[in-house]
Structure 1
């Protein structure tokens, strides 16, 4: 046996290790019976190994090293790679029957956003999608991503696509994993929210970085993931682990009043609601008590109730200058005040929209 055969293993070698053993015995002019005698193993065991019916165990590999002078690692590698090749073949056959599942996933949109690679082969594309979601099979995808307990404001006008929503949520978790957060501290987070509120008057290139940094210091990862078609989500909140929460924002409505209300709404879920639920915000409101609480939390933090009542009682609400003055007095962006007035029907939807700022993420497509 040459040193090359003894010390190297070709990774794409797919025949059973027993075939190699049989070739070596023929080269050595050694019978299976003699090998069994020298190893102290039943002849039947050697026959089963050669015929591919039994695996080469680490103990057997050591015995083969002693008798044949070929390192045990060679036999162990041979066996491991053979079993791995068999597993790949079995997976290939299984996944081939499941490629139709890709129709439930927005593969083209995910490729366009460079979340996954394009693969010409359908089975390889399926593997790429499963890798993205971190699951072993479409069945596991359904268990992990299809049956999560979700509380949401459900759109009355549209049906969101579950595959698109799952992809959007998964992308948020991938990006959140890159954010180093301190352990969650609710008192610290309340302080941070006041600091973030002051950022509403800052330009996007300032507040985006700062709110991520500040929230991370309190144990909350904030990520901005533009929505995929048919997700129709404005935001989501969930706990990645007991000491790390995630706020994911899509910038669906693209104006600062919607953006800031959505952010503080999600923050309300973190401070006031359980760690086992996923809160997913859609276009319209079909509110349960938790959604109402999160709405009130956001509204009151952005504009203190007493200040709001004072403003409504004044003539300021009727003029653009009055709105700007009130916003300046309480330290928030005027677009937020306009949005609140419009929501409460104190101001027509067509009025003062030039006080709102339009936002665009660099990654938005």
Structure 2
């Protein structure tokens, strides 16, 4: 009997009292008999058997002497039961919280691989709730609302559309997760100024070349820099914030941007770090929508504008009417010509459809298409094995179409 007890690993919610009841029945003892042997009241033994009273260290030692096995077995049995009971209660809570999903960009987070992609129905929604609680690092939707409601007070928006707290918080959280646990040096303003100056010279390079250098320069100055895919409902493509008094974060979305917008957005966020307070979260979407004017945003705009093209060049800037003139002017300033074109278009010196070929588009690097990925996708769509085989062969033969 002892050996059986020691290897007992139930996979259902069964209180330790079930094992106690089985053993006293085997011995033909009553609960009163067991109570006398344990030194407990009959009521307390009844509570133990029904899972209403926990097995403490003292009780486990007594059960070892009276019923056999080890105190460790009885304590493990108790812990196992309580854990499964808590899990069952948590699952019931998740079922009650499914309406929370309406506040969050669930589809976008699935598309980005943040949470598992699956159909949303009554059966799967509790599991999705559980995944999102882990993603946000909160115990319940109420804690999520409390935390992000207080964070919202620190938001400094550039657009009236930036009101979807669920989408904004999801995008911000992705940056937080990237930065968690990174022990970069403490923020040094002088070093960051030097870093920003060096980063300006990187505008001539491709993303593959400038990105690692850019991250390192920021890192050395105590600023974490990340690219996080956009969440459309957030209407936020850039953010500057302080994760703690010694660590700043600049978070951008690279997707779909031309290099003039990307660089202006980065230097705009850098201006917030250099010029403004540590308690605010600056949410920036510099394209489209009704812009909300504020002194801080005006200062950041002006700083980025003058940092890229100093004011002493304004007169010369207004005279640029050809691609060649723009290229030569860019060489003079040591920045990419696309940045010059963006400035000329923004200020109405040239139409918006002029010289766009001088800009570069930053696009996400597509995931490698493999036979396994295609197979998984087709199986999810309930395509037949024959169709899968044909599709895999087609991809192998003509992958350029992807």
**Structure 2 residue 201 is matched with structure 1 residue 202:** no
Per the alignment, residue 3 of structure 2 pairs with 3
The answer to whether the 8 A contact 1:234-1:281 is kept is yes
Per the alignment, residue 108 of structure 1 pairs with 107
Aligned equivalent of 2:305, options 293, 299, 303:
299
Per the alignment, residue 280 of structure 1 pairs with 283
**TM-score, structure 1 normalization:** 0.90
Unaligned runs of 5+ in 1: none
**Structure 2 residue 346 is matched with structure 1 residue 343:** yes
Deviation at 1:288, TM superposition (A): 1.1
Ranked by relative contact order (alpha carbons within 8 Å, sequence separation 6 or more), the top structure is 1
Per the alignment, residue 19 of structure 1 pairs with 18
After superposition, the Cα gap between the structure-2 partners of 1:90 and 1:35, relative to the gap in structure 1 and judged at 3 Å, is same
Deviation at 1:31, TM superposition (A): 3.9
Q: Distance in 2 between matches of 1:54 and 1:118?
A: 42
Q: Deviations over 1:231-258 (max 9, x none)?
A: 2222112222232221111135511111
Where do 1:61-100 residues align within 5 Å? 61-100=60-99
Q: Distance in 2 between matches of 1:21 and 1:74?
A: 12
What secondary structure sits across from 2:232 in the alignment?
coil
Deviation at 1:27, TM superposition (A): 2.1
Q: Deviations over 1:61-106 (max 9, x none)?
A: 1222233332112111111121122222222222212213212222
What secondary structure sits across from 1:318 in the alignment?
coil
Q: Distance in 2 between matches of 1:250 and 1:145?
A: 21
Per the alignment, residue 328 of structure 1 pairs with 331
Q: Distance in 2 between matches of 1:248 and 1:145?
A: 18
The answer to whether the 8 A contact 1:258-1:339 is kept is yes
What secondary structure sits across from 1:115 in the alignment?
coil
Per the alignment, residue 165 of structure 1 pairs with 168
Q: Deviations over 1:114-164 (max 9, x none)?
A: 111135622112211222222222222222234422111014xx5664322
What secondary structure sits across from 1:230 in the alignment?
helix
**Structure 2 residue 127 is matched with structure 1 residue 124:** yes
Q: Deviations over 1:298-336 (max 9, x none)?
A: 122222223x335247x4x23322222222112111111
After superposition, the Cα gap between the structure-2 partners of 1:147 and 1:304, relative to the gap in structure 1 and judged at 3 Å, is same
The answer to whether the 8 A contact 2:111-2:117 is kept is no
RMSD of the TM alignment (CA)?
A: 2.4
Q: Distance in 2 between matches of 1:180 and 1:52?
A: 46
Deviation at 1:11, TM superposition (A): 4.7
Larger deviation, residues 111-120 vs 259-268: 111-120
**TM-score, structure 2 normalization:** 0.82
**Structure 2 residue 308 is matched with structure 1 residue 309:** no
Deviation at 1:179, TM superposition (A): 5.4
